[in-house]
Amino acid sequence: MGGTKLLAGAVDARLGVHHRVQRSVADLDQAALLDVAVDAVTEARESGGAEIAAVGFGIPCLMDQRTGIGVIAVNLPLFDVPFGDVMAERLGIPVFVDNDANMAALAEHRAGAARGCSEAVMLTIGTGIGGGLILRGELYRGGVGAAAELGHMVIDIDGPPCQGNCPNHGCFEAVASGTALAREALRIARERPRSGLGRALANGLEIAGPLVTELAHDGDLAAIETLELIGRRLGVAITGLVNIFNPEVVVVGGGVIAAGELLLGPARAVVAERALPPSRDEVRIVAARFGVEAGMIGAAALAFDGLARRADVAR
């Protein structure tokens, strides 16, 4: 589950996806959001072609793993909800829940772009920016389970207000998310009405990430410069993460990664200029192998792990 969309799937033990379901979660209240989650899982469950043993959820919410409470989501109406308990009661099978970006990190470490690495940083860039950390080969959750909110580190002390339920200013998310990309693209379209972006705006098209990426791949300089701006801001944030964690790899996923090298190239250039050696010289900055499905696949891995732990306890 992300800030605007939910993706569900029937996933096997090898993390192969056999059926996919997508739902919008934009502009819903909490009750409707929970209904959409149940509906999506039910469709995936009925269409998967095999018995479903458990459900894993990755939700864009700060979790208290001691209680199973989803404390707050920045971009969705989730507040103090025992998400796993609610879903287990409504679905009638075991449910396991964690943060969505944590689940993306788990998927990429288990079978994707961070496989074989003991130290990795995951960034998911969509409506907001999520973060996940693999430290010493394990998913790092912090003291109570709410760690790695990397999108909410401040990279501009005098920056714009963050979005949704975040009270901060100048957050990484506020200046480099898909939402920020759309905002910058709209500004540039207005400033350059003869550009591809400007003509798209005049024609009434939605100025959002997918359109900016399409125009950039087609060679529109305004769209390319928009992605370069967001990529440089991404590079500033990654510089800090490289200096702090000395990761072997920084994996970038989420919807915005459809821009590929148009985003990652400027980010790598900033890291090369600003980060400290030796971390700067060793880190790889790469796109997620599983793309926008990383969170869903990681949630399935979480469920398989949870079932295995229960079986071990039962023995």
The predicted-structure confidence for 73-114, as pLDDT tens digits, reads as follows: 999 999 999 999 999 999 999 999 999 999 999 999 999 999
Q: Give the confidence band of 313 by pLDDT, cuts at 50, 70, 90.
A: confident
Same domain, 94 and 124: no
* Residue 163 confidence class, pLDDT cut points 50, 70, 90: very high
pLDDT for the residue numbered 238 = 98
* Residues 171 and 122 grouped into a single domain: yes
Q: Tell me: the pLDDT tens digits for 166-202?
A: 999 999 999 999 999 999 999 999 999 999 999 999 9
Do residues 93 and 223 lie in contact, with contact meaning Cβ atoms separated by under 8 Å? no
Same domain, 266 and 119: yes
Which of 74, 99, 124 is a domain's end point?
A: 99
Q: Supply the pLDDT for residue 296.
A: 96
Asked if residue 170 and residue 273 are part of one domain, the reply reads yes
Distance CA 139, CA 298 (A): 11
* Single residue among 69, 99, 129 that ends a domain in this structure: 99
From CA 306, how far away is CA 1, in angstroms rounded?
19
| C-beta neighbour count of 229 within 10 angstroms | 18
Q: How far apart are CA 40 and CA 23, in angstroms?
A: 7
Is the pLDDT assigned to residue 263 strictly greater than 90? yes
Answer whether residue 185 is part of any domain. Answer: yes
Whether 86 and 171 map to the same domain: the answer is no
Residue among 87, 88, 69, 89 nearest 79 (CA) = 69
Closest residue by Cα to residue 236 from 296, 305, 153? 153
Three-state SS string over the chain comes to CCCCEEEEEEECCCCCEEEEEEEECCCCCHHHHHHHHHHHHHHHHHHCCCCCCCEEEEECCEEECCCCEEEECCCCCCEEECHHHHHHHHHCCCEEEEEHHHHHHHHHHHHCCCCCCCCEEEEEECCCEEEEEEECCEECCCCCCCCCCHHHCECCCCCCECCCCCCCECEHHHHHCHHHHHHHHHHHHHHCCCCHHHHHHHCCCCCCHHHHHHHHHCCCHHHHHHHHHHHHHHHHHHHHHHHHHCCCEEEEECHHHHHCHHHHHHHHHHHHHHCCCCHHHHCEEEECCCHHHHHHHHHHHHHHHHHHHHHHHHC
For Cα atoms 78, 83, 85, give the angle at the middle one, nearest 5 degrees.
155
- Residue 53 — very low, low, confident or very high, per pLDDT cuts 50/70/90? very high
Q: What CATH number corresponds to the domain at position 194?
A: 3.30.420.40
Tokens of 264: 């990652």
Q: Is 156 found in the same domain as 87? A: no
Has this prediction a pTM greater than 0.75? yes
pLDDT band, residue 315 (cuts 50/70/90): confident
Grouping H, G, I as helix, E, B as strand and the rest as coil, residue 96 is strand
d(CA 120, CA 284): 10
Q: Please report the pLDDT score of residue 48 as a whole number.
A: 77
Domain presence at residue 309: no
Average pLDDT of the segment spanning 284-293? 96
**In the chain, how many domains are there?**
2
In whole angstroms, what is the distance from residue 189 CA to residue 246 CA?
38
At residue 262, does pLDDT exceed 80?
Answer: yes
Q: Which domain holds residue 46?
A: 5-99
Structural domain includes residue 108? no
Residues 280 and 135 in one domain: yes
pLDDT at 65: 94
Q: Does some domain include residue 301?
A: no
Residue 49 above 80 pLDDT?
Answer: no
Banded model confidence at residue 249, pLDDT cuts 50, 70, 90: very high
Do 283 and 171 fall within a single domain?
Answer: yes
Q: Is the peptide bond before 278 cis (omega within 30 degrees of 0)?
A: yes
How does residue 25 score in pLDDT terms, banded at 50, 70 and 90? very high
160: pLDDT strictly greater than 90: yes
Determine, yes or no, domain membership for 192.
Answer: yes
Q: Is the pLDDT of residue 50 over 90?
A: no
Q: Mark whether 191 and 69 lie in a shared domain.
A: no
